[in-house]
Amino acid sequence: MTTRVLDTNVLLDRPIEEIIHSFPPCMIILPLAVINELDGFKGLDDQRGMYARSAIRFLDGLRPKLHQGVQLKTGHFIKVEVNHADVQLPEYLSRNKADRRILAVSKGLMENGPLELITQDICARIIADVLEIPAENYIVENVELMNLYSGWREIEVTDQEIQEFYQHDFFPGKCSLLANQYVRMVDKAGGIHYGRFSASRKSIVPLSHDLQAFGISPAEGNMEQHFLMDALLNPEIELVSILGPAGTGKTLLALAAGMHQVINRGKYSKLIVSRALIPHSRDIGALPGSKEEKISPWMGAIFDNLEFILRNFAGNKYDKKVTPTEMVDRFMKEGYIELEALAYIRGRSIPGQWVVIDEAQNLTKENIKTIITRAGKGTKIVVTGDIQQIDNCRLTATSNGFVTLIESFKGQELYTHITLDKTERSSLAALGVKLLA
């Protein structure tokens, strides 16, 4: 059985149960220096602190035989190693550092059979290589991006099927389609037709005839935006995820549809907009003022989109001379729009509201779970993200919670996903997306 020695940084990457399951059955060794380092991280309020506490609780449940080793139901054998302190290392490698003690344990255990040191520390792997200790990085790629669900597919249809589609507003799905998957149907003459697979009817049905929300419509010729607006306005779909690069209209369409459903139709009591407060570059530190004043600088993109939507808005209740900025402020004061930091969403129950989670590529799987489980009866959640712009240094394009959501929920009747590809912001923005990918 292969022995794997885990460094502290591995246990701070994700819940310890997931780490164990990511390996085939093996002997898992945790040097005592690792336990000591976990104790130093357990008081942190960030993700590392959460995972450190999780690991400590898990190990506490395995006492009192951890020093002898404990067999898990998964077939793994886990042990806290306290020996091999007498293993000789080069003089320049001081034993005062935890990394050196972990290397000593690994060196000593090599006498018992095949071993790997698992660490995310590049320098530790280099030193291990010099000491002839096999070492590997710990990477769990959750999603294969090339195969990431796009939310739609193209199919060929006969003239009879298209005739039936327009006469009866449906025709039976003839291929393997997922619930709420959109289709681009191509007939023999090269004609293009759009539809959505309804799992309840087991048929392909047309898109909504009215795809306008608060004066905003899908861009002409943008198929994915037509699919997206149909999903946003469909009352049977309670969760929508939108993936796309900058300028594709993710946030704009999500907000416009929300404003339409909250203000014009009254289907939801409030539009809540939230995002992770993670700086793009160097953090400027804590901001003064109330909660609203603190999060306002982070919501600049949201205000820009709301003002764009309201620029041509005219209603009997409001003076047409009111500026878009003043109109946004009025809607917020009257409770139609609420901006919220994700830090404050835990513990809330959110019924009957339209919730937009922006910049979701910066969220972990646990963050996403917390958000989805806040939804009360009658709530719709729209999650937007761009995996090309991740600011959370602990996440990658394949390990963030957003892509996990897409892969986990695809095929569910309450869910739809759409990937947007075409940048509508400007020619410059589109060129930037293409050249700087």
Reported as a single tens digit per residue, the pLDDT across 165-207 is 999 999 887 778 999 999 999 999 999 999 999 999 999 999 9
Percent of the chain having pLDDT more than 70? 86
CATH-assigned architecture of domain 3-136? 3-Layer(aba) Sandwich (3.40)
**Lookup: tokens for 421:** 């590809």
Q: Who has greater pLDDT, 280 or 217?
A: 217
Average pLDDT, the chain: 86
**Lookup: tokens for 75:** 């077939």
Report the pLDDT value the prediction gives residue 431, as an integer from 0 to 100: 67
Q: Which CATH class is domain 217-435?
A: alpha beta
Report the pLDDT value the prediction gives residue 280, as an integer from 0 to 100: 46
Q: Is 109 helix (H, G, I), strand (E, B) or coil?
A: helix
How far apart (Å, rounded) are the C-alpha atoms in residues 307 and 59? 52
Report the pLDDT value the prediction gives residue 417, as an integer from 0 to 100: 97
Does the pLDDT at position 209 exceed 70?
yes
297-333 pLDDT, tens digit per residue, is 557 788 889 998 988 665 445 556 778 888 888 898 9
Percent of the chain having pLDDT more than 90? 55
Q: Phi-psi category of 282—alpha, beta or left, where left has phi over 0 and alpha has psi -120 to 50?
A: beta
Does the pLDDT at position 366 exceed 60?
yes
How far apart (Å, rounded) are the C-alpha atoms in residues 77 and 201? 49
pLDDT confidence band for 291 (50 / 70 / 90): low
Report the pLDDT value the prediction gives residue 353, as an integer from 0 to 100: 96
Instruction: Please report, for the chain, the start and end positions of each structural domain, with discontinuous segments joined by +.
Output: 3-136, 217-435
Does the pLDDT at position 150 exceed 50?
yes
263-290 pLDDT, tens digit per residue, is 999 999 999 998 876 544 444 455 555 5
From 210, 252, 187, select the one nearest 420 (Cα to Cα).
252
Q: Which amino acid is at 83?
A: N
Lowest mean pLDDT among 31-35, 105-109, 143-147, 156-160: 143-147
**Beta pairing partners, 354:** 271, 380
CA dihedral 158, 159, 164, 166 (to 10 degrees): 120
**67-to-62, 78, 80, 99, 361 alpha-carbon distances in Å:** 10, 9, 5, 20, 40
pLDDT confidence band for 377 (50 / 70 / 90): very high
70-96 pLDDT, tens digit per residue, is 999 999 999 998 776 567 777 777 767
22-30 mean pLDDT: 93
Same fold, 3-136 and 217-435: yes
Pairs from 116-122 (Cβ < 8 Å, separation ≥ 24): 116/2, 116/3, 116/4, 116/5, 117/4, 117/5, 117/7, 118/4, 118/5, 118/6, 118/7, 118/10, 119/6, 119/7, 119/9, 119/10, 120/7, 120/9, 120/10, 120/13, 121/7, 121/9
401-436 pLDDT, tens digit per residue, is 999 999 999 999 999 999 999 887 766 766 665 666
Q: Is 129 helix (H, G, I), strand (E, B) or coil?
A: helix
How far apart (Å, rounded) are the C-alpha atoms in residues 56 and 110? 26
Report the pLDDT value the prediction gives residue 46, as an integer from 0 to 100: 76
Q: Who has greater pLDDT, 367 or 90?
A: 367
